[in-house]
Structure 1
Amino acid sequence: MVKGQKGKTKGPRMISEIQRLKAMGLSKRMIAKSLGCSRNTVDKYLSASPDADSESPKVYRAAWSDQVKWIDVESATSRGMTLSEFWERFISLREELKDVSYLAFWREYRRRFPNIPIELHKTHPPGERCEIDYKGDSPGLGFIDRYTREYVPCRLFGSILCFSQLFFPRATLTEKQDDLLKSISEAYKYFGGVPVTSAFDNAKAAVSRAHRYDPDINKEFAHFCEHYGTAPLAMRPRKPKDKNLIENNLGVFWRWARQRIQEKTFHSLADLNDFIYELAEDFNNRTQRKYGTSRRQKFIEGEQDKLLELPSAPYSVGNWKTAKPHPDCHVQIGKNFYSIPHQHRDRLVDVRITGALIEIYRDLDCIARHIKAHDNAVGQYFTNENHLPDFHKAMREATPQQSIDQASEVGPFAEQIIKSLIEDARHPLMYLRRAQGILRLSKRYSPKALDRSSEILLSIGTKNPKLSDVEALIKNNLDSEKTNVIPIKRQSNPFLRGQEHWGNQ
């Protein structure tokens, strides 16, 4: 505003509204916020009417409003019933009030119970964003297990496209990562596409470390978003209005669907979700009074074609762990071994384990991928020959040569066994672990016992023995040495009659 220029004079309607809100007991600050003016303006028009504080202005009330017990309306809405549901039931019982619109009913309710939240209206381009969240408390959502007859409570998941407000709900047993990712996948499938960005809160299933400006996204959740081509957006901690659409619609849907769900009995999670899907279809096809159209219609007309395409293969949820590579270019996952490129043996790697694959990452780059071994497999090696260094280069590496030098200190037969394992193999690093394990037996037992067992193995033509065979042979040799006990020689004793005495009788 230019200095010296007076503000625009408020009209009589604004002045009347200021006086009405003051009569209801609102503070000057709340009046200014609700009407979008300054506190000085409120002071100006309140002080202009000297009897404003002593005499309340006349507040308009519709003639039909006296037929409604508004205390009962407030009591019903405080228990969870929506105002629109109360209006529908009330109109159906009063024939003389059938022409009362919901908007008029809402205005009369607000005149008696003013509640004016100040919120910034957000606009979202079509296909730009969806919001994801779990409802905090949803009592009555669950099923009765058909085998144990126990009640199993569930959690209510929700996802919404911000432009059309197309809503997808789903019941899950927990809020863990597996359930969360499966629910988001089903939401994208229901939408028929993927939004550009996906907004969510700071749950551990999605965010490893919450931060106002630079949160750390969970590895598996980041991998999930990369698979679908959407950008993850972690909202600020303790700021639910950053994703107010999903917060509000989860509450609206639950209040609308709660009675319908609790009237039925379900015996499995699948049955419960089938019914929730039917409710979601009805919910999305209902006409929104604010926009004069349904969520589904708005989605078809303005947002359906703006979504990204779904990937050809569904996402497979996995678990992550950290592994240390061995000099033989393998990492141990469970009881089996998987190869990695030899250039990455100097640092820890991240391993992603799914139901069918083992994926090995370094700095978010996938450096190896293997088919996962069966659950009962033990000691299997999954080796990609391209991951191993050249033969001559591998022979010059310190680890194989150190093993050969260490074996020469044990004995000539042990040296011959270790050389055979390293030099006669398809690759010098192929049996490096086995060679190191055999050499370690010299410390557990003795170098002499290891060399003796190696001599026996070579005598029967076994040049590439297993670690378990060598150790078993050492134990057998030690047991046989214990059984060769020197007989005890007894001195003559005049008090013992001996065997001759019994033979003469």
Structure 2
Amino acid sequence: MAKKRTPMNKIKEVLRLKYDCGLSNRSIASCLKLGPSTISELLTRFKQSQLGWPLPESCSDADLTQALYHVKKASRDKVMPDFTQYAVELRRKGMTKMLLWKEYHEKTYAYTQFCENFTRWLKTQKRSMRQLHVAGDKLFIDYCGPRLQVVNPDTGEVREAEVFVATLGASNYTYVEAFPSQGKSYWLEAHANAFEHFGGVPQLLVPDNLRSAVSKANRYEPRLNDSYQKLANHYQIAVMPARPYKPKDKAKAENAVLLVERWIMMRPRHQTFYTFKELNLAIRALMDELNLREMKQYGASRKALFEKLDKPALKPLPKQRYLYTETRQAKVGPDYHIEYRRHYYSVPHQLVGHHVELEASNRLVQIYHQGNLIAQHPRSQRERGNSTQPEHMPSHHQHQKWSPGRLLNWGANIGPATREVVNKMLNAKPHPEQAYRSCLGLLNLSKTHGESRLEQACKDALMLTKPNYTFINNLLKNNREGQLSKDKANTPNLVHSNVRGPNCYH
């Protein structure tokens, strides 16, 4: 084993302490934590080199090393291999350094020196490039930290959009898409969309430890979410979540996320998007631009490397796309609707009071009764909205058990204010049956809080023009009924010279 050389900074310090400070060899050894024999050998070599002290300004570290150790300078005739191209080639499945060396035409380096030079070059590259990923092997997955926004054109409500990023290890080819949340259904849909965009499936998924992927994080044996495991089984993929507190495991994903945040998410920041489809069309154009941009360290674009490396190595897609569905049991309300994710979907009115089974994906809601499909609706993201099909309505908008007249009579028995609130709730919907659920909820508050308190709360709601179940329920829960009327009655009508009139404001 070759003796390890003394670092150049210590060699210069030995010379300085000897010739500037006049210290003995043993004192120098003690100061620098070196052996006396090492100091003696260095000073002997320096004397033999015929260099003077102080060193000439033109004497570089390489010159001093050559003078002390008689290192031969590398021949200028030797042609250094194109290690950038070799780094790309090594990402091919089955490629070896030995094969590349044999194909290296200017064989001025032995195989060992060739490997050492390549390793030395690799250490000078960025961390993400130093990890040589085999083509078609790994797909790194993460979400961006910042969010984009989607505005409801009717209500002005702003929804935050989560940006999903998936990057293939060998080519850095990147897929980007925005979703309403990081929820399980969107997480799985994003994977299926990415696989279809790539036109194939990798061997291994490397996600972060988010809840949609990992139910219990662990450095050695992370427990995958059941639905994520089903997706992996469907596509015949292995899943290896990044280890907690190990940033090198997901360096490729973090670099891709950073690029997406800078080159995709910042570009449309002055635009307003009204649907996720509109937002994703803008993202797709910027994503294609990113993948076509040349990467300096490779001398090629992500798209070009994808076509050359990853695409041929990906496994084929299965015949059927993976579709995640959530199954629930529900009871049909008196308004012939069932609730799913705070939205109401209609079923045939004959099934009021029956139990049905619901299967929901991100695109579709299907409702079954005794194994038979009875209703099908496009999935809606609008909270407290209704999806009603006309054929599900009863004739003349009446129901065997409940009717507007019966609900109004119940309200009248409690008090005139309660009846008026019920009437306004019935008239607020295109069809009275759509308000049955809210009216029944309101009237049933009399069983919990008493009829007199409900009547007073309805008076407050009418006075403040808020005749709805949510407002009245909150009044009763917080014991605030009657208080709002008193507050308004006690508010003085200030009329004096210091009060400005409407003419003061323009």
- Provide TM-score, normalisation by structure 2: 0.43
